[in-house]
């Protein structure tokens, strides 16, 4: 029987697997018997070939979505990751096409593409059609459907306050895209009457006229059971700055309600609108972070077909759901 010879003592490749870390205690450096320090061979990390889920928008870098979506994907034991994909308008069609080809398993869509993306898809869910906006793309094979979970996310965020029964009336501040989505959430919540107040009252009138709903819509302000703020005034301002105070001041004469929701959120502290509500003594105040997490959770359920771990997702961005 032929016994292979012992490896020569200075054969680094053969000596390495049996070597002991002896180079200053650094476990990644081995000393071969020749006395020459050599790096430990790296075992390549397994490549994650699972298609990611994208967030398409411009800008997207500031987004908190990867934080709670990746926490949820790990919790569900799924190999996919959630990634921002910076997408200027000129690249939107290509990005959608890549999803159709299976490069990504689905996507969220954020500003400025929520309206435009629908034209690139194969179908729209009813809520997306009514909201005139898509924030979620779901792929079934090559067929892409647009959904709107901003509406259902807001509904879930509000529903925690109203387990005993729906508010009857609501005051909606703003008349843009977010206001339209908020109206659909209010409709699902069971609200019967909504007052829409907007800086440009023509826009409020147009929204009240165009939305097909059984709710009674009025233009103007009235004291209601619930107030929802959807304007972009003061977005991005930092508490205790002149700009923040100025934005809060605009809302000081709001006819407040027991419950006040702001679809905007701020990582820095209260939004100007919620600062004004606090100053006025409103106790039930919530910002748009809860809506953001719930819209993400609703999207995750559409992509995976599994129940989203909502508490874990809320915890991942530091919000308790009251
Ligand atoms: P979004 O999709 O976020 O709703 P949008 O459609 O551009 O954005 O709507 C922005 C909303 O914020 C509108 O209701 C806008 O009021 P106008 O219709 O009068 O423009 C409101 N808004 C923006 N800046 C504002 C400001 N400085 N004061 C009051 N409302 C403001």
Fold observed for domain 53-147: Rossmann fold (3.40.50)
Delimit the domains of the chain by residue range: 53-147, 152-290
Q: Does residue 223 carry a pLDDT above 70?
A: yes
Its CATH class, for the domain covering 152-290, is alpha beta
Q: Which residues are catalytic?
A: 114
**Nearest-CA residue for atom 25 of ligand 1:** 233
| Block residue for tokens 């990390």 | 45
pLDDT per residue over 232-245, tens digit each?
Answer: 998 989 999 999 99
Q: Does residue 284 carry a pLDDT above 80?
A: yes
pLDDT confidence of residue 45: 80
Rounded Cα distance between 171 and 197, Å, is 7
What's the gap in Å between 163 CA and the centre of ligand 1?
31
Six-digit token string for 321: 């759901």
Q: Are 266 and 287 in contact (CB under 8 A)?
A: yes
**Nearest-CA residue for atom 28 of ligand 1:** 233
**135 ligand 1 Cβ < 6 A:** no
Q: Does residue 34 carry a pLDDT above 80?
A: no
pLDDT confidence of residue 26: 53
**223 ligand 1 Cβ < 6 A:** no
Sign of CA dihedral 130, 297, 265, 62: negative
């Amino acid at each position: 029987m032929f016994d292979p010879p012992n490896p020569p003592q200075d054969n680094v490749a053969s000596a390495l697997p049996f070597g002991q870390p002896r180079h200053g205690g650094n476990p990644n450096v081995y000393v071969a018997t020749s006395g020459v320090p050599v790096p430990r061979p790296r075992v390549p990390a397994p490549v994650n070939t699972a298609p990611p889920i994208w967030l398409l928008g411009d800008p997207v870098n500031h987004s908190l979505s990867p934080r709670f979506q990746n926490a949820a994907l790990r919790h569900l034991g799924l190999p996919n990751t959630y990634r921002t994909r910076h997408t200027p308008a000129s690249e939107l069609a290509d990005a959608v096409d890549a999803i159709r080809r299976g490069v990504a398993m689905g996507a969220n869509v954020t500003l400025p593409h929520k309206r435009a993306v629908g034209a690139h898809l194969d179908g729209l869910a009813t809520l997306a059609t009514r909201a005139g906006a898509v924030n979620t793309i779901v792929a079934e094979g090559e067929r892409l459907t647009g959904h709107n979970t901003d509406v259902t996310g807001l509904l879930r965020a509000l529903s925690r306050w109203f387990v005993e029964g729906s508010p009857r009336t609501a005051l909606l501040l703003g008349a843009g895209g977010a206001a339209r989505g908020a109206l659909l959430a209010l409709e699902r919540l069971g609200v019967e009457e909504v007052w829409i107040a907007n800086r440009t009252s023509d826009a409020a009138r147009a929204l009240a006229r165009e939305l097909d709903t059984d709710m009674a819509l009025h233009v103007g302000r009235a004291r209601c059971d619930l107030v929802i703020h959807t304007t972009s005034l003061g977005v991005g301002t930092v508490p205790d700055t002149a700009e923040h105070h100025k934005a809060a001041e605009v809302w000081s004469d709001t006819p407040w309600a027991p419950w006040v929701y702001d679809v905007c959120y701020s990582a820095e502290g209260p939004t100007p609108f919620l600062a004004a509500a606090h100053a006025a003594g409103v106790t039930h105040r919530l910002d748009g972070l809860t809506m953001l997490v719930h819209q993400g959770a609703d999207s995750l359920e559409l992509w995976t077909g599994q129940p989203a771990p909502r508490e874990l997702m809320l915890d991942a961005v530091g919000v308790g759901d009251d």
